[in-house]
Amino acid sequence: MLTHPQFDPVALSLGPLKVHWYGLMYLAAFLQFWCLGRYRILHHAQLSASGWTVRQLDDLLFYGVLGVIVGGRLGEVLFYQPGYYLDHPAEVLAIWRGGMSFHGGFLGVLVAMGLYARKIGRTWFEITDFIAPLVPLGLATGRIGNFINGELWGRVADPSLPWAMVFPWVDNLPRHPSQLYQASLEGVALFVVLWLYSTRARPRGAVSGVFLIGYGSLRWLAEYFRSPDDGILGLSFTVSMGQWLSLPMILCGLLLVVLAHRQRI
């Protein structure tokens, strides 16, 4: 069995200033978003022909950062640990310790993209189709940040599993390194699917729909390897909170793909 390396969450200390690995992972996520977005604008004739510019990408990144941080933290507070943060309100702002909900960040980004779409006169789905392939690798870096922080550890695993890992501060049982599973599935695998799918012209809304289906399905699968939470309203019925929140993503994604190909969007 492997043992978690128990990384120091602080990557760099400069006097009173401490740079945390978790923050660096988010910085890496935003940087890869910009680099991939720039590549798409410069190398995809359809995007450049529709008027996308690197300047707009810069603005999108700014709006997206706000949506991810505000929505992700509020999602963690409201969806997953409302009782804890009600008792410790000062820790709501301590994002360097981890604790960012994907589904909350996703909703925050949707709101931010809606505001930006209104500002520049594009449709909401034009924006989401453009950014969908740029998101998964950022999700992967976020999960690596979870692994470095030693949070969101997995369920107990068979000791014979070659990569079973002990998280000493939890217990001495072998567990799935579920953070790395999610980095591989929701991050790398989803990126490959979306990047390849979006290289050809697709009906408006189709790429966004495939993102919803892909993320929702892969997150549903990954939840079977994460330590279970209490589910929605404390009632799991063997379905975790992450799965409850992913179910509407899958259903909306299926509907979106159907409507896109019928040109109803």
CA 227 to chain centre: 18
| Tokens 């680099």 sit on residue | 35
| Tokens 């996520």 sit on residue | 29
Asked if 175 contacts 159 with a C-beta cutoff of 8 angstroms, the reply is no
Q: What is the largest CA-CA distance in the chain?
A: 59
Q: What is the Cα–Cα distance from 145 to 137, expressed in whole angstroms?
A: 13
Task: Select from 224, 68, 86, 95 the least CA-distant residue to 149.
Answer: 95
Check the annotation: does 143 bind a ligand.
yes
Q: What is the Cα–Cα distance from 85 to 39, expressed in whole angstroms?
A: 41
Asked if 191 contacts 136 with a C-beta cutoff of 8 angstroms, the reply is yes
Asked if 213 contacts 200 with a C-beta cutoff of 8 angstroms, the reply is no
Q: What is the Cα–Cα distance from 151 to 99, expressed in whole angstroms?
A: 9
Residue positions forming the annotated binding site? 143
